[in-house]
Structure 1
Amino acid sequence: MYLNCHTYYSLRFGTFSEVELLALAKEHGVECLVLTDINNTSACLNFIRKASTFNIKPVVGIDFRNGAHQQFVGIAKNNAGFLELNSYLSDFSHSKKAIPNEALEFKNAFIIYPFEAVLEQNKTTFKTNEYIGVSADELRKLPFSKYIVFKDKLVIQQQVTVRNKRDFNAHRLLRAIDNNMLLSKLQKTEECREQDKMLPVEVLEDDFKQFPFIIENTKKLLAQCEIQFNFGEHRISQNQQTYLASKDADYQYLEQLCKDHISKRYSHISEKVKERLRIELKTIRELDFVSYFLINYDIITYSKSQGYIHVGRGSGANSIVAYIIGITDVDPIELDLYFERFINPFRASPPDFDIDFSWKDREDITQYIFKRFKNVALLATYNTFKYRAVVRELGKVFGLPKEEIDKLAGGKSHALEGDEMAALVLKYGALIEGFPNHLSVHSCGILILEQPIHYYSATDLPPKGFPTVQFDMIIAEDTGIFKFDILGQRGLAKIKEAIEIIAYNRPEVPPIDITQVECFKRDPKINTLLKSGKAIGAYYVESPAMRGLMQKLQTQDYIGLVAASSIIRPGVSGSGMKTEFIRRQRKPETRREGNAKLLEIMPETYGIMVYQEDVLKVANQFAGLTLGEADVLRRGMSGKFRSRTEFVAVEEKFIANCKARGYPDALTLEVWNQIKSFAGYAFAKGHSASYAVESYQSLYLKCYYPLEFMVAVLNNGGGFYSAEHYIHEAKMCGGDVQPPCINKSDHPNVINGTTIYLGFGYLRSLEHLVIKRLLTERQFNGVFQSLDDFIDRVLISIEQLTILIRIDAFRFTGQPKTELLWQAIFKCQANKSKSIQSKLFKPAQKHFNLPSLNTSFVEDAYDQMELLSFPLCSYFKLINENLQPHIKAKDMNKHVNQNVLLYGILVNTRFHNTSQGKRIRFCTFTDQEGHYFDTVHFSKVVDQYPVHGIGVYACYGKVTSDFDFCSIDILWSRKLSVIPDPRGD
């Protein structure tokens, strides 16, 4: 009986979820319910999915509005009608046009015009599918209007937006937030009515008892509606079903691709390879995933044709088919990758292929997908109201002073005890927290479907211009819609650009084939970089944590790096398994301490769960769960699992099976806790292996072409560290790093031999237009001969010219920059130059005789710190005090368990909260020789000796050694003073 119901996906309007709406309907005796969110279909699929739980017939539609003003309500008769309504709404959403007063004539959808709108427009003609909606409150007007005679067109339109007074108050606050105004200024036209709530069916029918034909019309309308999607166990894939003309043709093509490409991957095709390929192809065909593989192959083929570099990872990286046809570069035979993690007969969804491209190439790949395939859209994600943000919004709505809002948002509500308004802010902040605030685009998900996109959802058109559905990944998977993950990352951009820079700067070097990873894996020089922790700039292996881990593990091969990239994850690390893994690797005699069964299941990792598929193996082989049950555990660990009921049942069976097999309770609990620690964090082994492949590609370039590689790192936004530290690393590799130069630099960094010229882009105050003019003029008319020549040829203000002079960009003239500054001021003032228009003829520049004006390196350093954010000399050259007797980082291993003093430049610092809630700090420094040392500041000293930004610190503490990796437990630390700027303030 309810044709116009809202959830909180009527953004900043509705006040409860679609599940709460169904529960409300059940409570009020409603057997058929229509969900019609305002210009939004986000909740529709889940509403249909959950309706059967409440024994309610679901019907869906859309409440079409301009702002808060209702134009009409569309109700889908069936799936085709839902498609019509979604397409119609999307036209307005994409074009940003207002919704008209009258709707189209839909073949499979009803239109309900609100009674007030009909009165206002004096509408007298109605199409077959159109009705007039009347609420209980409007019945008193109906007998006195001409529409009383439209007996076959009148239906009940009792809007449902709130449940009670509290919901209504929350609704008004949401409307005030949406309109960015004080609650007291909110117009009634922006609100729903307090009566817009659900009544028991018998009460509603009693209200309309004088107009039985309205009740009858409403029931007839609902009886005609039926919408059906399959969910959960009954879902079928909604992805594009075939790549070619038929499924048979698809399979033959996939099989042929494998035959054509297998010799490129395996010089000797063993029986093991043949058998693995046969089983995979058979399973892929039986589970109907052939087109999914072929579409991914198509995308990769295009990227290769454009010269792009990619990395294929995710659980699909466990697949030999994916490896052979080039989707991934991970050999599942070499790594003994577990087939059942990638795909098994109990898995309803296809394997994940996370395909990384350079961040510069990703948009072109996305454009290609939208052009190449028919029914394509981006996946959505929901941005929800966060507590602190909603408290701030509500504080503004209530008109609270900024100081009070800051206290409330900062958790200092006790300071406002007794303040009634503050209490309301906190009360409704807690209620609204978690509501959807606006729709956003999923970071990487693209949908390629068999049916039109609007069969499932309306679409929005975000700024990047790609249609985006209005539901998220969880709903998509429940419905049988499986995304293609197309990601952009900077690591691949660094690799690609490094190769281009090498070709330019080292023309004698033969073209580099970066896909020759097998050669890189066996290179002792590259592996030495790993075990010595000298991988700065290399993807995924450069952070202090990874640097320390690889030194502890003495990682010096591909297999070791694969393991390291997984055990660094919080799940493995936080459970204590990381420490135990290091112990068993470094001390082989300890491996026999592990459980014999676990050692048999996971010999490569010494009986320790490291990868996601280890959960499958242990559940199946240790606890006797079926592969289907084990996959429930694996999905539960992934953080994507929706229903906990099934997961809890499997947990109980796991424990019961272990008990039946005679395992001690302590062992069962230990293994189960290891499984639980994987939640949301563990990698599939193939996924880790894919990361390792990219790491080796980066390490190859870092090993043999370090300067070109570091320039590429800097030009692509760096990585874990600051640009300043990558410049330090370039110097450590023998680079001569120079400040920007008028004649040598570009917007990015450039390299000439071993000299690196910083790009103009580092000069934060230099206008982009000035850089563009400078570079264009130099490109067309050659290098600049002097300051006069530059002033004649480039439109520039004295303020912008001063920036270039202070950074010493005119050093090619041989004149001190102080002298150049005076020359610039005199010349610009003498010519009255304001940089408004270029001059037709060169003016005769005046020459001024100036006294000798020299600059010290300290002045240069201060100018660089102001203009670049960092000096190009070492901070050790700038300190203003003598160093006390100390040791160097390379000698720490000679002083284990001794208190020592080191001096270092701060590289990185981060806090960590212990399980007891105490705060500790970890820092990384470089000493005078540029070598790293790490410090731990425990809770006793972390606040007593704070770390205040970049600079040189005296670090005094005890040297500790953990598997031969030394660090310092700080007893005290102090930042050293620096030489002041000789020019004064």
Structure 2
Amino acid sequence: MYINTHTYFSLRYGTIKPKDLLKMAQGMGIDCMALTDINNSSACLDFVRLAPRYGLKPVIGVDFRQGARQQFILLAKNNHGFLQINNYLSGFLHQQQLKIPEQPVPLADTLVVYPFATYKGKGLKENEFLGVRASDLNRLKFSHWKEQPEKLLALHTVSFKDKKGFNTHRLLRAIDKNTLLSKLPVTDQGHPEDLICPPDDLIKAYEEFPWLLENTQKLLHSCSIDFDFSQEVPNNQRSYTGNTGLDYRLLRKLSYAGLSYRYKRPGGRVMKRIEKELDIIHEKGFVSYFLINWKILKYARSKGYFYVGRGSGANSIIAYLLRITDVDPVELDLYFERFINLYRKNPPDFDIDFSWSDRDDITEFIFRRFPHTALLTVYNTFKYKASVRELGKVFGLPKSEIDRLSGGDIRPDKLDKLSRLVLIYSESIQGFPNYLGIHAGGILISEKPIHYYTATFLPPKVFRLPNSIWWLQKTSDCTSLTFSVSGVWERSRTP
């Protein structure tokens, strides 16, 4: 019955943390829910991963809005539908100005829900429906759409936990519109009744039209999404050459070809170590990762770029032979098992330092060479000072008072009502995602298209390549290379 729910990843709009949403749903006996953040799919994978723990079947999609005005909701019938939605959403996020149309283009394996109150079309396609809010029921009685009950659903939007959540929402909307709270238009706000409520409350609200709830429940249960969160099967690029058998033969060939560069007289200990590592790397399915790093560093050497491999990757003789690292683990008696062992499920790490002056060219090469690649972004959250300053402006406080409050050295009992409200609500929004920022250099190289996991957007800085370069909003099960501020390539798992 819940086809339109928002978390605080509906930036500067929603006020519910994803885990809190799931906890509340479990406490109310809700067994199925669709997460549809506004113009954002960042929380979807975590929602799918966590939902079973709370006894809830997850459905995912996106609430497409122009400002606060809801245009339509897209729900994914399956993983391919989610890919289609992310492709479609990314097209808008790649624009300089966000312009959401009143109707979407046809997308396979998706369901479209239009708000009944504002829908202007004359007909509906097979996968299209109208969502009727409880406040629209009297109007429905006199509408011709009543003659097509199979096309009507119950639309109860969930954006807030309670009244305080709605008040917080209004403050976030005022921050987003850069206006005083007293001047925030109603059209830029959500509805006060968009609260999470138990199924019994919805049954009572729609008691004259119970089939609306039945249609909605049936539609939700027709959707099925599935991702592997076991961490036993990496989602990074599985094959370097396109064939895992050829990958292994290439890794073996490169390893033995590097013997003459690293050793004058390799003994039996070296040869035994090579075979041991090759067997484990092959068995654990990490061959492509070694080859990807080898290719990147081969390019770096061809350009004369200096780099230093460090960390536990230096425990590998294969990495030493491929010139990923420059430490001889045999001479120093370093244990390979500290880097990779048969019990390790998550992929390994290579820490490689590059000069900041070479970073952009290395990044551009990676995008040219590997098909499903995206740079990584971060969510900048509201901290104490930022939240106090933003709320102080929304409440119309003078700069001197805002400076005093943001300083932190204050006595609440000496403050007036507005200043106390600033402090109260600043605590409410601390930790909320505020806006997207650029990661120092995280890069995802995925087996599947990036949009299989999430939508993407364009940052201010873009590499001008033949194909579009996208910044990843968020994903929860891809392996990445990370290029830190100091110029370090690391391999990390995104949160």
2-structure distance, mates of 1:455, 1:195: 34
TM-superposed CA distance for 1:418, in Å, is: 4.2
What secondary structure does 2:150 align onto? coil
Structure 1 contact 354–487 (Cα < 8 Å) conserved: no
In the other structure, the counterpart of 1:86 is 86
Q: What letter matches 1:16 in structure 2? A: I
Q: What letter matches 2:268 in structure 1? A: E
1-structure distance, mates of 2:434, 2:315: 38
TM-superposed CA distance for 1:376, in Å, is: 0.7
Q: What letter matches 1:93 in structure 2? A: L
- Aligned pairs for 1:415-454 within 5 A: 417-454=414-451
- Aligned pairs for 1:877-892 within 5 A: none
Structure 2 contact 480–494 (Cα < 8 Å) conserved: no
1-structure distance, mates of 2:184, 2:161: 21
1-structure distance, mates of 2:134, 2:332: 69
Structure 2 contact 5–34 (Cα < 8 Å) conserved: yes
1-structure distance, mates of 2:332, 2:194: 62
TM-superposed CA distance for 1:148, in Å, is: 2.1
What secondary structure does 2:233 align onto? coil
Structure 1 residue 349 and structure 2 residue 352: aligned?
A: no
In the other structure, the counterpart of 2:333 is 336
Structure 1 contact 360–488 (Cα < 8 Å) conserved: no
1-structure distance, mates of 2:22, 2:118: 28
What secondary structure does 1:421 align onto? helix
Which of 450, 460, 465 pairs up with 1:463? 460
Higher normalized helix content (fraction of residues): 1
In the other structure, the counterpart of 1:697 is none
In the other structure, the counterpart of 2:41 is 41
In the other structure, the counterpart of 2:134 is 136
Q: Identify which of structures 1 and 2 has the higher relative contact order when contacts are C-alpha pairs closer than 8 Å and 6+ apart.
A: 2
2-structure distance, mates of 1:53, 1:249: 40
2-structure distance, mates of 1:269, 1:488: 38
Structure 1 residue 192 and structure 2 residue 193: aligned?
A: no
TM-superposed CA distance for 1:75, in Å, is: 0.4
2-structure distance, mates of 1:323, 1:460: 38
TM-superposed CA distance for 1:46, in Å, is: 0.7
1-structure distance, mates of 2:70, 2:488: 49
Give CA-to-partner distance per residue, 1:901-929, whole Å, 9 cap, x none. Answer: xxxxxxxxxxxxxxxxxxxxxxxxxxxxx
Change in Cα spacing, 1:491 to 1:245, as seen in structure 2 (3 Å) is closer
Structure 2 contact 377–473 (Cα < 8 Å) conserved: yes
1-structure distance, mates of 2:203, 2:327: 66
What secondary structure does 1:34 align onto? strand
- Aligned pairs for 1:183-332 within 5 A: 183-232=181-230, 235-332=232-329
Change in Cα spacing, 1:172 to 1:442, as seen in structure 2 (3 Å) is same
In the other structure, the counterpart of 2:404 is 407
TM-superposed CA distance for 1:302, in Å, is: 1.3
In the other structure, the counterpart of 1:169 is 167
What secondary structure does 1:131 align onto? strand
What secondary structure does 2:299 align onto? helix
In the other structure, the counterpart of 1:3 is 3
TM-superposed CA distance for 1:640, in Å, is: 8.4
2-structure distance, mates of 1:464, 1:277: 43
1-structure distance, mates of 2:99, 2:88: 12
In the other structure, the counterpart of 2:465 is none
| Aligned-pair Cα RMSD in Å | 2.0
- The alignment's TM-score, normalised by the length of structure 2, stands at 0.94
In the other structure, the counterpart of 2:63 is 63
What secondary structure does 1:334 align onto? coil
TM-superposed CA distance for 1:639, in Å, is: 12
Structure 1 contact 407–413 (Cα < 8 Å) conserved: yes
Give CA-to-partner distance per residue, 1:410-462, whole Å, 9 cap, x none. Answer: 11321771411111111111111011111223222211111111000000111
Q: What letter matches 1:55 in structure 2? A: G
Give CA-to-partner distance per residue, 1:698-726, whole Å, 9 cap, x none. Answer: xxxxxxxxxxxxxxxxxxxxxxxxxxxxx
Structure 1 contact 354–484 (Cα < 8 Å) conserved: no
2-structure distance, mates of 1:429, 1:335: 54
1-structure distance, mates of 2:206, 2:3: 15
After TM superposition, the runs of 4+ consecutive aligned structure 1 residues lying more than 6 A away are: 638-642
Give CA-to-partner distance per residue, 1:897-955, whole Å, 9 cap, x none. Answer: xxxxxxxxxxxxxxxxxxxxxxxxxxxxxxxxxxxxxxxxxxxxxxxxxxxxxxxxxxx
Identity %: 49
1-structure distance, mates of 2:298, 2:34: 46
Give CA-to-partner distance per residue, 1:742-774, whole Å, 9 cap, x none. Answer: xxxxxxxxxxxxxxxxxxxxxxxxxxxxxxxxx
In the other structure, the counterpart of 2:466 is none
What secondary structure does 1:249 align onto? helix
Change in Cα spacing, 1:336 to 1:371, as seen in structure 2 (3 Å) is same
What secondary structure does 1:144 align onto? coil
Structure 1 contact 154–217 (Cα < 8 Å) conserved: yes
Q: What letter matches 1:217 in structure 2? A: N
TM-superposed CA distance for 1:220, in Å, is: 1.8
In the other structure, the counterpart of 1:105 is 106
Structure 1 residue 151 and structure 2 residue 152: aligned?
A: no
What secondary structure does 1:141 align onto? helix
- Aligned pairs for 1:248-647 within 5 A: 248-414=245-411, 417-465=414-462, 466-471=469-474, 475=476, 479=477, 481-487=478-484, 489=486
Change in Cα spacing, 1:72 to 1:131, as seen in structure 2 (3 Å) is same
Structure 1 contact 156–214 (Cα < 8 Å) conserved: yes
Change in Cα spacing, 1:415 to 1:65, as seen in structure 2 (3 Å) is closer
In the other structure, the counterpart of 1:512 is none
Structure with max Cα Rg: 1
In the other structure, the counterpart of 2:23 is 23
Structure 2 contact 83–452 (Cα < 8 Å) conserved: yes
1-structure distance, mates of 2:427, 2:414: 17
- Aligned pairs for 1:937-948 within 5 A: none
- Aligned pairs for 1:589-738 within 5 A: none
TM-superposed CA distance for 1:355, in Å, is: 2.6
Q: What letter matches 1:257 in structure 2? A: L
Change in Cα spacing, 1:326 to 1:372, as seen in structure 2 (3 Å) is same
In the other structure, the counterpart of 1:127 is 125
Structure 1 contact 385–432 (Cα < 8 Å) conserved: yes
What secondary structure does 2:388 align onto? helix
2-structure distance, mates of 1:639, 1:363: 19
TM-superposed CA distance for 1:140, in Å, is: 2.1
Change in Cα spacing, 1:486 to 1:412, as seen in structure 2 (3 Å) is closer
2-structure distance, mates of 1:186, 1:238: 44
2-structure distance, mates of 1:150, 1:57: 28
Structure 2 contact 412–420 (Cα < 8 Å) conserved: no
- The alignment's TM-score, normalised by the length of structure 1, stands at 0.48
2-structure distance, mates of 1:148, 1:248: 60
Q: What letter matches 2:186 in structure 1? A: K
Structure 1 contact 357–487 (Cα < 8 Å) conserved: no
In the other structure, the counterpart of 1:977 is none
Structure 1 contact 407–415 (Cα < 8 Å) conserved: no
Change in Cα spacing, 1:488 to 1:312, as seen in structure 2 (3 Å) is farther
TM-superposed CA distance for 1:491, in Å, is: 10
What secondary structure does 1:4 align onto? strand
Structure 2 contact 479–492 (Cα < 8 Å) conserved: no
Give CA-to-partner distance per residue, 1:455-501, whole Å, 9 cap, x none. Answer: 000001111223122215xx2xxx2x111233564799xxxxxxxxx
Q: What letter matches 2:217 in structure 1? A: K
Q: What letter matches 2:48 in structure 1? A: I
Change in Cα spacing, 1:314 to 1:380, as seen in structure 2 (3 Å) is farther
TM-superposed CA distance for 1:351, in Å, is: 1.4
